Chains A and B, each alone.
Chain A
Amino acid sequence: MDYVYSLMSQVCIYAISVAALDLLVGYTTILSFGHAAFIGIGAYTGALLLTDLHVGTPVALIASMAASGSIAYAIGVPTLRLSGDYFILATLGLSVVTSSILENWMDLTNGPFGIFGIPTLSLFGYQARSPLDFFVTVAVITAIVLFLKQLLVTSSYGLSLRALKEDDVVASSQGKNATRLRVITFAIGGAGAGLAGMLTACNLRFIDPSLFHLNLTIFIWAALFVGGCGSWLGNLIGPFLLLCLPEALRFVGLEGTAVAHVRELFYGGVLIALTMFRPQGIAGKLRIR
């Protein structure tokens, strides 16, 4: 059962990443390909604070979100004035630069060797000692994140984001400051990714730069597409399907290397089938523009 709890913890952590990306892509058309970088920044901030400075988990959680959120804000101010294609390039660049820093800043990140011995989550006197404890803790955090996201998207702020997404000229003639709204949203999305990074670090107890490469961003985009934009249920379904169904292949008797290939085939097949038969995703309510 520990294996199942561990898998479900991963689903929850990815759901947080997907929810953060949904705020950017589904509600605002901020096509960010730097999500893995923000997850990585959150993971390393949390890991370093927990292992080197021995701070408590709540402080590390807040610091991870603050680090990723403020870097997203700092990057968003100049880049969100760029048109769509250039912004995508800028975030791809961020991803590459972050990977490079994580691999080469030996003094801080320990480079390719990564950081070991990251403690598990310990919140308000409750320490997640077993995979079940960890799953329960992460599930509660995920529920809170999805609830907060629903509060945001159903508020006037969310309505402004949707107006901006559909027609930014009309939105600006309604008095919406498009750049400011986008920058703030990018920072919130970055903070959400930072939280997921910190939880990843506590889940794996070890992190290295290879965990936060561009393929992680692509995986989260795929999970968002599969689950569908604009739906908290979709944010859960996407990671669940993309993590659990390939795991199920382990039990059908395929050889070790074949499993990896079949998994890639599976992702491709699911994405092609969805774009053909359900382009808005399984539980999607918003279209991606």
Chain B
Amino acid sequence: MSILELSHVTRHFGGVTAVDEVTFAVEPRTITSLVGPNGAGKTTVFNLISKLVQPSSGSIVFDGADITAFQSYKVARRGLGRTFQDPRMFAGMSVLEHVLSSFSLPDENPVFAILSGPRVRAARRTALLGAGALLDQFGLRHRFADLAQDLSFGEQRFLSIARTLACDPKLILLDEPSVGLDANDLEKLKRMIVYLARECGKTIIIIEHNLDVIFEISDEIHLLVSGKLVLSGRPDELRRHPTMIEAYLGGAYATLST
């Protein structure tokens, strides 16, 4: 059974159709990539899935529930996590606080925050251990007390993924995660994504312009052009597909390649 199903999802912004009748399904524990030129509607699809934007028509089913009319926080609580094109760090918050802010703890209720009983203290300890483990995973433990805004861009990128993972999502949407990473960090990112899908049972959808990364790690690729889903398939099917080449390099190159 698919973990995510989009059926004829459309989104208009005034007279512009940003996403046009997009239909696809995502299987659990897989890595799916959304590719396409700038302005193809990839991030809008992410915003529709994470409910930051409501669809004009169509339906979205996540983990067996129709989430079409949900608000974003409800989808997040059902197990959908996402990152953004920018790391979007919280100013004035430390690295550790960033990760802790994603844990759902009893003292989020002000009454429990004041009473601070044994259950709250135990949950806080567990969250601290979990946050420490996540920071370890991304090589950020030694910087736990630093302000997130003082990290390098690559470190902020990893911290934004760690912050998302702290919500323990079943489905993770990664929006251009490799932007601003050097070769070493890019390798680390690829290993991490594959590890999350294969070893941790997470389902991942990724928007990425680096096609080498896409072809290397994806199980399924969807090509969007001008808001329409024009091509779907496995990496080996799409690598030399004329539509794929045309979308990225133009019609002349597509003719040459065939």
Name A's B-contacting residues (CB within 8 A).
148, 151-152, 155-160, 162-163, 166-167, 169-178, 184, 188, 286-287
Distance (whole angstroms) from the CB of A46 to the closest CB of chain B:
22
Residues of B near A155 (CB, < 8 A) are 107-108, 110, 112-113, 116
* Residue interface mask B82-109, A partner, CB < 8 A = 1: 1010001011110001001111111111
Most buried by A among B50, B102, B104: B102
Residues of A near B109 (CB, < 8 A) are 157
Q: Are A169 and B103 in contact (CB under 8 A)?
A: no
Q: Are A163 and B93 in contact (CB under 8 A)?
A: yes
Q: Are B81 and A173 in contact (CB under 8 A)?
A: yes
Q: How far is the CA of A162 from the CA of B127 in the complex (A)?
A: 18
Most buried by B among A148, A163, A174: A174
Q: How far is the CA of A160 from the CA of B76 in the complex (A)?
A: 15
Residues of B near A170 (CB, < 8 A) are 84, 88, 90
**Contact A175/B101 with A148-B114, A184-B110 known, Cβ cut-off 8 Å:** no
Name B's A-contacting residues (CB within 8 A).
50, 52, 71-73, 76-77, 81-82, 84, 88, 90-93, 97, 100-110, 112-114, 116, 124, 127, 163-164, 167
Q: Are A157 and B91 in contact (CB under 8 A)?
A: no
Q: How far is the CA of A108 from the CA of B25 in the complex (A)?
A: 64
Closest to B93 in A: A162
Distance (whole angstroms) from the CB of B120 to the closest CB of chain A:
8
Distance (whole angstroms) from the CB of A83 to the closest CB of chain B:
16
Q: Are A151 and B116 in contact (CB under 8 A)?
A: yes
Residues of B near A173 (CB, < 8 A) are 50, 52, 72-73, 76, 81-82, 164
**Contact A175/B100 with A156-B107, A170-B88 known, Cβ cut-off 8 Å:** no
Distance (whole angstroms) from the CB of A230 to the closest CB of chain B:
9
Q: How far is the CA of A178 from the CA of B76 in the complex (A)?
A: 13
Of the candidates A152, A167, A176, the one whose C-beta lies within 8 Å of that of B73 is A176
Residues of A near B112 (CB, < 8 A) are 155
Residues of A near B164 (CB, < 8 A) are 173
Contacts A155-B113, A156-B113, A157-B113 known; 19 new A-B pairs at CB < 8 A: A151-B113, A151-B114, A156-B100, A156-B127, A157-B107, A157-B109, A157-B110, A159-B101, A162-B92, A162-B93, A162-B97, A163-B93, A163-B101, A169-B72, A173-B73, A174-B167, A175-B73, A175-B77, A287-B92
Q: Are A159 and B72 in contact (CB under 8 A)?
A: no
A-B contact pairs, 29 of them (CB 8 A): A148-B114, A151-B114, A152-B113, A152-B114, A155-B107, A155-B108, A155-B110, A156-B106, A156-B108, A156-B113, A157-B109, A158-B113, A162-B92, A162-B101, A166-B91, A166-B92, A167-B88, A167-B90, A169-B84, A169-B88, A173-B76, A174-B76, A175-B104, A176-B73, A177-B73, A178-B73, A184-B110, A286-B92, A287-B92
Q: Are A160 and B90 in contact (CB under 8 A)?
A: no
Distance (whole angstroms) from the CB of B23 to the closest CB of chain A:
24
Q: How far is the CA of A188 from the CA of B81 in the complex (A)?
A: 30
Distance (whole angstroms) from the CB of B168 to the closest CB of chain A:
10
**Contact A157/B81 with A174-B76, A177-B73 known, Cβ cut-off 8 Å:** no
Residues of B near A159 (CB, < 8 A) are 93, 97, 100-101
Closest to B79 in A: A175
Of the candidates A148, A156, A160, A172, the one whose C-beta lies within 8 Å of that of B72 is A172
Residues of B near A169 (CB, < 8 A) are 52, 72, 84, 88
Q: How far is the CA of A174 from the CA of B78 in the complex (A)?
A: 11
Closest to A180 in B: B73
Q: How far is the CA of A286 from the CA of B93 in the complex (A)?
A: 10
Q: How far is the CA of A148 from the CA of B110 in the complex (A)?
A: 10
Distance (whole angstroms) from the CB of B109 to the closest CB of chain A:
7
Q: How far is the CA of A172 from the CA of B74 in the complex (A)?
A: 8
Q: Are A157 and B108 in contact (CB under 8 A)?
A: yes
Q: Which 7 A-B pairs have the closest CB atoms?
A: A155-B113, A175-B76, A166-B90, A156-B105, A155-B107, A175-B77, A172-B72
Of the candidates A156, A172, A174, the one whose C-beta lies within 8 Å of that of B163 is A174
Residues of B near A167 (CB, < 8 A) are 88, 90
Residues of A near B163 (CB, < 8 A) are 174
Residues of B near A152 (CB, < 8 A) are 110, 113-114
Residues of A near B92 (CB, < 8 A) are 162, 166, 286-287
Residues of B near A286 (CB, < 8 A) are 92
